[in-house]
Amino acid sequence: MTRIRFSFARGEALKHISHLDMMRLIQRALRRSGLPLVYSEGYNPHLRFNLALPLPVNVTASEEYGEVILADPVTPDQFMAAFGEQLPAGLDLTGAWIEDDYSAPALPSTVGAALYRATLVAEEGCRVDPVQYRQTLDRLLAKEEILAPKTKKKKTKKVFVNVRSYIYEAYFNEPEKERPLELYMLLQAGSRGGVSPFFVIEQLEKELTVECNYKAHWELHRERLYRDQDQFLKPLSEGM
Amino acid sequence: MQALDTKLKRLLSQVQKPARYMGNEWNARQKDHAEAAVRMVLAFPDLYEVGMSNQGLKILYESVNSRPGMLMERAFAPGMDMEELMRAYDQPLFALESGKPLAEFDLIGFSLQYELSYTNVLNMLDLAGVPLYADQRGESDPLVVGGGPCAFNPEPLAPFFDFFVLGESEECLPELLSGLDRLKKEAPDRKELLVRLSEWEGIYVPSLYQPAYKEGKFSAIERTDSRAPAVIRKRLVRDLDRAPYPTAPIVPYLQAIHDRAVVELFRGCSRGCRFCQAGYIFRPVRRRSRDKLVETAKQQIAETGYEELSLASLSSADYPDLEELINELDRGLYGEQVKCNLPSLRLDSYSIKLANRLHRGKRSNLTFAPEAATERLRRVIRKNISEAEIFSALNDAVDAGWQGFKLYFMIGLPTETEEDVEAIVDLCRRLRQYFRHKSSRKIGISVSVSTFVPKAHTPFQWEPQLSLPEVTRRQEILQQGFKKMPGIDLSWHDAETSFLEAVFARGDRLLAPALEKAWSLGCRFDGWSEHFSMPGWRQAFRETGIEPEDYALRRFGYDDLLPWDHLHCGVDKAVLIREHQKAFNIDKPEQGEAQ
């Protein structure tokens, strides 16, 4: 059996689909590719396939990861050709390699954090005041407690979690002419819990003291994924 | 979608399930508008996930787009949240493939599957910026055409449509589109174009027919141009093996209601259930060959990556040598991990055997439609299964390890009495007792009860619907009866929804203003219980002077001219009359099967 990992980018054309849609899309693309796929045993066989971290709806990404088990040896080039051909516009396969260590943990359990970039897009004729945004962000980060509702299945009672510690870093880009305001957020993610970039932005907007009298919206992009190793974050791409 | 502008992209980030409006799916066709002489958009008046489950849409998409010089794109009814944003931002309704507004197409073709989607038809025309009434449209406006089962009585929609296509259009639509290009050059204006079109087989141009009314009731219809035919006959595909059928259907991003590969075993149905419109309008039975089915299934699986294949038809177990087909599919799809399923199972041992053969994995629930609980009433509707057969079939299913059943019944069928309704409760009680003694496992039984809606072109087209208060009373009998029966799960269709369906199913043109009124009062998605508003409809009927009960509860006589009598479904009225009479003389022996 061959364990293949691959990286891909998601563009504008596909940013509106959900994680479940992505899972179905990729699995069907794999099924069309003619690659020697492996299915689980049992009544309801499913593909031996994983994505590293769900990508939220309305978010583009440059460096996402997936892995799939194949029955026969396949070179990364063969994989790239066969699978890449079956992907729709908006989903670009950027790399593939063989994971020799068959006992390596499954991809989802290796993810520890993700870096997001949120761009503030103002409608024509609107001027955004960067200073105000920077000050507001400082105020938000100075808090010791930021409570986020935690949705537990089948429980109606709302539970709140302090997610302040999940926000590892958050900063705006250096001001430049003709360049929109960009907020970078390094957020904890994965099986140990995390915080949604949309939630952080929502908190930021709540903190804005001056009423917004212009129309603007945020566009989100996930830059890369990290693993949490010996207390240090390393890009997931390293050592893969 | 290629031409997504910033405004539209912005809207998509604010709505639920934006993938409904994205297009760009695997196998979607992007054809060049400049190279197409005729451009059509197929408009489905319901949500994307409903429309993309419709096999007819996929067949027509293939039939037009596989031809050079013409193109077909898709549009669906936007959800309420999207509609609100589109109106706020002046975003006209657009086609998914190119993002172009519907008004830029030559033809807008509505798929008319269900009476309760009519307000969505008007809403889509309005969102497209196309005048609602055909006589208000100018030379540069698209032609608005309707097809599908509801086109067999399109009278309530008549003023909004330029023409209808009667019957199966996968063969005639490409012909029509290439002919239209030629006609457009020859005909001096839109009116003449429509007259010329009316001479084609299967084309109904309602503006060329003038109805007359006596005491507020439809009484006659007259042609306003002698070139239009007196009776319009439906279009029919003769050889399904040679008819267009998708080998690479579109694979939606979001999960459609039916998200799977589909091969159609045959069209039509030989069973002849008297309430069933599909059983009449799709006659005669025409089959696809086994070779063609296996070939198509293999192509579809290879081109889509689907993990499920449906062997569809109105009564799939009736396909000759179905077991051999399944064997060949097994061989043809070996190693692809494809699950086959067979919808529309009949209640007999053969069907159970097939279900056992096809199903892998946990045997959860099987669904059947006995429709009525007494043998007498089943003979009236010509659903001829005996009680012994029901017990023996379900017994086989339990023996094979199935965990439970879902049973569909109808109330309000002609000649139904209170005893027939109580018999539903009684039958389920006896089934429950039987399986309790027989099986150590718990056998789940769920019962779903709908209300009979008399449909045009069926032997029951003359019959009234049961009145609303009486439907409610009979539903209460069921609720009371099942209350004392734990372990049986009862659900029923909303009585008012079925009432409205009945009003339009046998309606005439006088209903058009009420329809427009209801739409303008905000009625949308009337088939969806969360959106359906009876108060809105009551107000619309009141303000337009319509008594809806006059329509739903009307009993027609054989001598009455019916609003759809000038539309011929392929079955002569004499046959329908004979079947109608037989329903009330069930003691006479049946002869042969329907053709």
Q: What is the CATH number of the domain that holds B247?
A: 3.30.750.210
**Residue in B236, B228, B176, B188 with CA at minimum distance from that of residue B207:** B228
Q: Give CA–CA dist A32/B337, Å, rounded.
A: 12
Sequential pLDDT tens for chain A (240 residues): 899 999 999 999 999 999 999 999 999 999 999 999 999 887 778 899 999 999 999 999 999 999 999 999 999 999 999 999 999 999 999 999 999 887 888 899 999 999 999 999 877 666 778 888 999 999 999 999 999 988 666 666 778 889 999 999 999 998 777 788 999 999 999 988 899 999 999 999 888 866 555 577 899 999 999 998 766 778 887 766
Q: Give CA–CA dist B564/A150, Å, rounded.
A: 58
- Burial of B467 from C-beta contacts in 10 A (0-12 / 13-18 / 19+): middle
Where are the domains positioned within chain A?
A: 2-110, 113-235
Residue B2 has pLDDT above 60, yes or no: no
Residue at token pair 């105000």: A132
Domain boundary residue among B181, B212, B229?
A: B229
Distances (CA, A) of B97 to A8, A130, B148, B595: 25, 39, 22, 41
Contacts of residue A45 in chain B, CB cutoff 8 Å?
Answer: 337
**Residue in B30, B64, B61 with CA at minimum distance from that of residue B176:** B64
CA angle A187, A189, A194 (to 5 degrees): 80
Do residues B43 and B137 both lie within one domain? Answer: yes
Please state the domain count of chain B: 2
Residue at token pair 């069973």: B271
> In a 3-state reduction of DSSP, which class is residue B41?
strand
Domain that holds residue B126: 6-165+172-229
Does residue B208 lie in a domain region? Answer: yes
Does residue B159 lie in a domain region? Answer: yes
Contacts of residue A31 in chain B, CB cutoff 8 Å?
Answer: 305-307, 336-337
The dihedral sign for the CA sequence B273, B278, B279, B281: positive
Asked if A28 has any chain B CB less than 8 Å from its own CB, the reply is yes
Q: Across the beta sheet with B444-451, what order do the strands follow?
A: B365-371, B404-411, B444-451, B488-492
Contacts of A15 (CB under 8 A, 6+ apart): A57, A58, A59, A60, A90
Residue B435 parent element (H or E): helix B418-438
| B26, β-bridge pairs | B251
Asked if A38 has any chain B CB less than 8 Å from its own CB, the reply is no
Q: Give CA–CA dist B272/B388, Å, rounded.
A: 21
Does residue B182 lie in a domain region? Answer: yes
> In a 3-state reduction of DSSP, which class is residue A169?
strand
Q: Do B18 and A217 touch (CB under 8 A)?
A: no
Do residues B136 and B278 both lie within one domain? Answer: no
Q: Do B13 and A90 touch (CB under 8 A)?
A: no
**Residue in B43, B3, B1, B2 with CA at minimum distance from that of residue B21:** B1
Does residue B275 lie in a domain region? Answer: yes
Asked if A27 has any chain B CB less than 8 Å from its own CB, the reply is yes
* Min Cα separation B189/chain A (Å): 41
Class of domain A113-235: alpha beta
Q: Do B305 and A90 touch (CB under 8 A)?
A: no
Residue in chain B closest to A44 (alpha carbons) equals B361
Q: Give CA–CA dist B137/B139, Å, rounded.
A: 7
Q: Do A217 and B307 touch (CB under 8 A)?
A: no
Q: What is the pLDDT of residue B349?
A: 86
CB B588 within 8 A of CB B487: no
* Min Cα separation A21/chain B (Å): 6
H helix count then E strand count, chain A: 4, 11
User: Which residues of chain B have a Cβ shorter than 8 Å from any chain A Cβ?
Assistant: 1, 4, 9-10, 12-13, 18-19, 22, 24-26, 251, 253-255, 302-307, 336-337, 360-362
Residue B593 has pLDDT above 60, yes or no: no
**Residue in A140, A157, A161 with CA at minimum distance from that of residue A149:** A161
Q: Give CA–CA dist A184/A187, Å, rounded.
A: 10
User: What value does the mean pLDDT of chain B take?
Assistant: 94
Q: Give CA–CA dist B221/B564, Å, rounded.
A: 10
Q: What is the pLDDT of residue B595?
A: 39
Q: Do B22 and A27 touch (CB under 8 A)?
A: no
Q: What is the pLDDT of residue B451?
A: 98
Which ipTM score applies to this complex?
0.91
| B44, β-bridge pairs | B76
Contacts of residue A57 in chain B, CB cutoff 8 Å?
Answer: 18
- Asked: is A2-110 a CATH 3.40.50.2300 domain? The reply is no
Does residue B36 lie in a domain region? Answer: yes
Q: How confident is the model at residue B360 (pLDDT cuts 50, 70, 90)?
A: confident
Does residue B467 lie in a domain region? Answer: no
| B213, β-bridge pairs | B218
**Residue in B356, B303, B310 with CA at minimum distance from that of residue B329:** B310
Does residue B364 lie in a domain region? Answer: no
Residue type, A27: Q
Domain boundary residue among B229, B245, B274?
A: B229
Asked if A193 has any chain B CB less than 8 Å from its own CB, the reply is no
Do residues B115 and B133 both lie within one domain? Answer: yes
Query: Is there a common fold for A2-110 and A113-235?
Result: yes
Do residues B77 and B197 both lie within one domain? Answer: yes
Q: What is the pLDDT of residue A44?
A: 79
Pairwise pLDDT comparison (A178 vs B454), residue with the higher score: B454
Do residues B326 and B211 both lie within one domain? Answer: no
Do residues B117 and B30 both lie within one domain? Answer: yes
Q: What are phi and psi of B140, to 5 degrees?
A: -90, -5
Q: Do B25 and A28 touch (CB under 8 A)?
A: no
Domain boundary residue among B279, B314, B344?
A: B344
Using left for φ > 0, alpha for ψ between -120 and 50, and beta otherwise, residue B443 falls in beta
Asked if A205 has any chain B CB less than 8 Å from its own CB, the reply is no
Nearest to B253 among A21, A27, A30 (CB): A21
